[in-house]
């Protein structure tokens, strides 16, 4: 490109190239690329001002990427999608009036605000915020937005359910599902319930799920989740167990894995990152979940596995067989 060099003042050809720069952001070195122009007459180099953000803005953008933080344009797009003003969003989040404006214009948000922003971008969380802060938005606009959000949530749930059914295979209620349609959300919530606090080993989690569904069937003639359980070497296991875990760990990050040492061996402990939504569970289901958690609280994975091996439903089935809920009356709890 030919232009006037700001150093020598001659009309000359400027060549450009990328150069790595580094800025310390919150005590952390952040690298990013900038475009440099060189004058072929005098050899002077200078930044291509006007075609890129300043260095601090570029460093902030890389810092956000590195830490999976919300970018300014994401905040603007989120507000635009739901027709929220900066002031309305600030009131919903409980932050200062100018805070959202600063973040949208490139200021680096703190981690607490970033977490709240990320959560608010989920339709269910946004709806909850609106319901908890009714004065943040004028009545008519709030009612319209609530309707819109509920419709969006229902569509999303229907899409997710359809996708899961396609992946897992749909089946009619029968003796292997506790005479209940599979409720995928309840499976997720039950897993989260048992993984609260210090977490639980994978092997033990499978047995807790098995005993919860079978004990509820024993007492109330219907299971909790509608899930099926398969006979495997180490005892009953939730059908498509790895799919549920992969979804919760890698897709929605509601679970995490930690490696811990147990009597000389390493085991993978599953820990809930969020509290389960138990609002759709009946009183009898909540009672059974709490009972199972309490009964087996002190059991190790090997102890609960050994106990499950003594159940008639396990003893009278073979590898990869589904375990019928007909055996629920015979479980020893």
Give the chain's domain count. 3
Residue 190 clears pLDDT 60, i.e. is over it = yes
Answer whether residue 100 shows pLDDT above 70: yes
> What CATH number corresponds to the domain at position 79?
1.10.260
Greatest alpha-carbon span in the chain: 94
**Domain end marker among 93, 125, 148:** 148
Reported as a single tens digit per residue, the pLDDT across 4-52 is 777 787 887 877 778 888 999 999 999 988 888 888 878 777 776 554 4
Query: For 49-78, how does the pLDDT look when each residue is reduced to its tens digit (9 = 90+)?
Result: 554 457 889 999 999 999 999 999 999 999
Domain containing 23 equals 2-66
Total Cβ atoms within 10 A of residue 234: 15
In a domain, 155, yes or no: no
Q: How far is CA 96 from the centre of its chain?
A: 27
Same domain, 207 and 225: yes
State if pTM tops 0.85: no
Confidence of residue 224 (pLDDT cuts 50, 70, 90): very high
Cβ count near 205 (within 10 Å): 23
Place of tokens 């997710």: 160
Is the pLDDT at 327 greater than 70, yes or no?
yes
- 76 with 144, same domain: the answer is yes
One domain for residues 198 and 255: yes
Does 208 share its domain with 97? no
Number of C-beta neighbours around residue 64 at 10 A = 19
Q: Is position 98 within any domain?
A: yes
Same domain, 215 and 282: yes
Q: Report the alpha-carbon distance of residue 311 to residue 289 in Å, rounded.
A: 19
Residue 53: the pLDDT is: 53
- Does 133 lie in the same domain as 269? no
In this structure, are 218 and 282 located in the same domain? yes
13 and 43 belong to one structural domain? yes
């Amino acid at each position: 490109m030919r232009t006037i060099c700001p150093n020598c003042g001659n009309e000359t050809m400027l060549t450009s190239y990328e150069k790595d720069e580094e800025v310390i952001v919150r005590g952390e070195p952040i690298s990013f690329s900038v475009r440099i122009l060189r004058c072929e007459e005098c050899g002077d180099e200078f930044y291509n001002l006007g075609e890129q953000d300043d260095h601090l803005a570029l460093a902030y953008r890389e810092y956000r990427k590195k830490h999976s933080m919300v970018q300014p344009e994401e905040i603007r797009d989120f507000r635009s999608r739901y027709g929220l003003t900066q002031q309305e969003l600030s009131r919903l989040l409980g932050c200062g009036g100018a805070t959202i404006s600063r973040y949208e214009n490139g200021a680096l948000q703190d981690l607490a605000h970033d977490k709240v922003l990320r959560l608010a971008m989920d339709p269910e969380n946004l709806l909850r915020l609106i319901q908890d802060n009714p004065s943040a938005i004028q009545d008519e606009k709030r009612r319209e937005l609530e309707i819109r959000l509920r419709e969006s949530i229902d569509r999303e749930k229907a899409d997710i359910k359809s996708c899961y059914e396609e992946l897992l295979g749909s089946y009619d209620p029968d003796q292997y599902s506790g005479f209940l349609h599979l409720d995928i959300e309840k499976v997720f919530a039950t897993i989260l319930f048992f993984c609260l606090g210090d977490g639980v080993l994978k092997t033990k989690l499978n047995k807790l799920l098995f005993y919860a569904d079978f004990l509820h069937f024993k007492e109330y003639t219907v299971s909790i989740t509608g899930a099926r359980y398969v006979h495997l070497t180490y005892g009953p296991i939730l059908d498509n167990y790895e799919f549920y875990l992969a979804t919760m760990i890698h897709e929605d990050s509601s679970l995490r894995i930690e490696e811990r040492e147990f009597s000389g061996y390493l085991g993978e402990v599953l820990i809930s990152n969020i509290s389960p939504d138990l609002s759709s569970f009946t009183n009898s289901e909540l009672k059974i979940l709490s009972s199972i958690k309490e009964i087996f609280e002190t059991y190790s994975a090997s102890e609960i596995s050994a106990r499950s091996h003594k159940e008639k439903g396990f003893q009278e089935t073979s590898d990869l067989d589904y375990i019928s809920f007909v055996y629920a009356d015979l479980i020893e709890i």
